[in-house]
Amino acid sequence: MNDNSVSSFSVLTSGEAAEKYSSEPVDIAIVGGGPAGYSAAVNAVNRGRTAVIISGDYRESYLYKASSVENMPGMPGQSGAGLLEAFRGHALSMGAVEIPGQVLLIMPFPTGDGTSLFQLAYGNNILAARSVVLTVGASAFKPYPGESHLLGRGVSYCATCDGMLYRGKTTAVIAKSADAVEEAGHLAKIGCKVLFFASAPDMKKWGSHIPDGAFDQIVTASSFEITGEDQVTALIADGSKYTADGVFILRSSIAPDALLPGIDISDGYISVDRSQATSVPGVFAAGDCTGKPLQIAKALGEGLVAALSADAFLAAEERATRD
Ligand SMILES: Cc1cc2nc3c(=O)[nH]c(=O)nc-3n(C[C@H](O)[C@H](O)[C@H](O)COP(=O)(O)OP(=O)(O)OC[C@H]3O[C@@H](n4cnc5c(N)ncnc54)[C@H](O)[C@@H]3O)c2cc1C
């Protein structure tokens, strides 16, 4: 993804924002670059708030895949990719900043002075924020058998972050996102034995990007189970057992309750009230991740409400700490 250079109104580049907000909190961190995230960003900036969107490749947005959108009022027949580029361009031109990266964990951080602070871990970096808007889309996956139980005990979602723990050991990589080949390459580079797994359609998309001899084994498989009592011992792929010390599951999205442990979920979607507030104070959610209908207009509207609610939340904290 390019650095933000969409307009002369952009205040910071991605790199500058990543550095600045690693310690000084941004007002509103928006997780996910899709219609809901860009709508939240436009409205956060409109309210005079600093806003950072952290997103995996925004072309992973569901919308990017829509060839023609017929139900956007006033704009029938546009391509999903065209609409998304327009939403993104608008947000960035207003001064919102986008940092490329997948958020792996959000941690509320006690300040003791009545203000909220969150730390968002992405790659090997941290972004500090006073409030958070989750716009991560619908989690189009169920965890594999053994995944939740062994998460943090051999199961990881980030090769860059956890790879060193498996140096000299055997890792199995389940590739479900475009950057998986690169992430698996990182494991090989730091001295892990890498068994690379992908489904037949994904192998067709990415197989040609795998350099000869890059991995110890390349396996086409579509069903997975992770085994081990207290620690991963093996991956079972399409019924065959592969002994492994670590299993890296590289998807473009992470289940919301793994992203923010303790957040209320209902039927797989983040529970919100009419102000888009989640069960965690200071954290709001919008778009497909809050439930049906999974549609653009709903995502845009909820993004707006979430940004206004985050602004109101921050204003209330500012009043309380002033008095
Ligand atoms: C083929 C197809 C056709 C469609 N056609 C229509 C249509 O005609 N009309 C209509 O109204 N809707 C349509 N939709 C639905 C529409 O695309 C979605 O409702 C809309 O994109 C939801 O927006 P969102 O912002 O909530 O999530 P998304 O657009 O899914 O965006 C989520 C973003 O979050 C990022 N992300 C996820 N997890 C993380 C993380 N942990 N860290 C950082 N970033 C993360 C993803 O990479 C992605 O960029 C269609 C969908 C598809 C797949």
Of 246, 248, 226, the C-alpha closest to 235 is 226
Asked whether residue 7 is assigned to any structural domain, the reply reads no
Protein residue whose Cα sits closest to atom 27 of ligand 1:
137
Asked whether residue 2 is assigned to any structural domain, the reply reads no
Asked whether residue 173 is assigned to any structural domain, the reply reads yes
The pLDDT score that the predictor gives to residue 110 is 81
Co-location of 52 and 152 in the same domain: no
Co-location of 55 and 123 in the same domain: yes
Asked whether residue 3 is assigned to any structural domain, the reply reads no
Asked whether residue 6 is assigned to any structural domain, the reply reads no
Best residue among 61, 88, 263 to mutate for probing ligand 1, ranked by most atoms within 8 Å of CB: 61
Q: Domain total for the chain?
A: 2
pLDDT band, very low/low/confident/very high, at 112 (cuts 50, 70, 90): confident
Asked whether residue 4 is assigned to any structural domain, the reply reads no
- Regarding beta strands 125-134 and 283-285, do their DSSP bridges make them parallel or antiparallel, or are they unpaired? parallel
Asked whether residue 1 is assigned to any structural domain, the reply reads no
185-240 pLDDT per residue, tens: 999 999 999 999 999 999 998 888 888 899 999 999 999 999 999 999 999 999 99
Tell me the CA–centroid distance for residue 81 and ligand 1, in Å. Answer: 11
Can you tell me which atom of ligand 1 is nearest the CA of 36? 25
Q: What pTM did the predictor assign?
A: 0.86
Which of 211, 233, 250 is the C-terminal boundary of a domain?
250
Can you tell me which atom of ligand 1 is nearest the CA of 71? 9
H runs (alpha helix) in 194-295 = 200-206, 256-259
The answer to whether 125 and 18 are in contact (CB under 8 A) is yes
Distance CA 159, CA 161 (A): 5
Structural domain span for residue 288: 14-140+254-322
Co-location of 287 and 218 in the same domain: no
The pLDDT score that the predictor gives to residue 35 is 96
Protein residue whose Cα sits closest to atom 41 of ligand 1:
103
Which of 193, 221, 250 is the C-terminal boundary of a domain?
250
Asked whether residue 166 is assigned to any structural domain, the reply reads yes
The pLDDT score that the predictor gives to residue 282 is 97
Protein residue whose Cα sits closest to atom 48 of ligand 1:
61
Co-location of 110 and 165 in the same domain: no
Co-location of 206 and 79 in the same domain: no
The pLDDT score that the predictor gives to residue 9 is 45
Co-location of 103 and 180 in the same domain: no
Identify the residues whose C-beta falls under 6 Å from ligand 1.
31-37, 54-56, 58, 60-63, 65-66, 69-71, 102-103, 135-137, 252-254, 259, 287-288, 294-297, 299
Co-location of 125 and 33 in the same domain: yes
Q: How far is CA 226 from CA 42, 46, 161, 171, 235, in A?
A: 42, 46, 20, 12, 5
Tell me the CA–centroid distance for residue 66 and ligand 1, in Å. Answer: 10
Angle between helices 296-322 and 35-46 (to 10 degrees): 40
Is the model's pLDDT at 270 over the cut of 90? yes
| Stretch 50-62: mean pLDDT | 88
Residue 92 vs residue 9, higher pLDDT: 92
Is the model's pLDDT at 7 over the cut of 70? no
Q: Which helix (H) or strand (E) holds 147?
A: helix 147-150
The answer to whether 248 and 171 are in contact (CB under 8 A) is yes
Tell me the CA–centroid distance for residue 319 and ligand 1, in Å. Answer: 36
Best residue among 1, 53, 58, 62 to mutate for probing ligand 1, ranked by most atoms within 8 Å of CB: 62
127-158 pLDDT per residue, tens: 999 999 999 998 667 789 999 899 889 999 88
Residue 254 vs residue 282, higher pLDDT: 282
Q: Name, in order, each residue with C-beta under 8 angstroms of 274's C-beta and a sequence gap of 6 or more.
A: 305
Co-location of 227 and 78 in the same domain: no
Co-location of 118 and 43 in the same domain: yes
Can you tell me which atom of ligand 1 is nearest the CA of 39? 25
Q: Which two tokens stand for residue 214?
A: 């890059």
Return mean pLDDT, the chain: 91
Co-location of 162 and 124 in the same domain: no
Co-location of 270 and 121 in the same domain: yes
Q: Residue 130: which CATH number? A: 3.50.50.60
Q: How far is CA 207 from CA 56, 59, 242, in A?
A: 21, 20, 20
Tell me the CA–centroid distance for residue 171 and ligand 1, in Å. Answer: 31
Which of 250, 279, 313 is the C-terminal boundary of a domain?
250
Distance CA 98, CA 79 (A): 22
Co-location of 130 and 258 in the same domain: yes
| Stretch 250-254: mean pLDDT | 85
Is the model's pLDDT at 49 over the cut of 70? yes
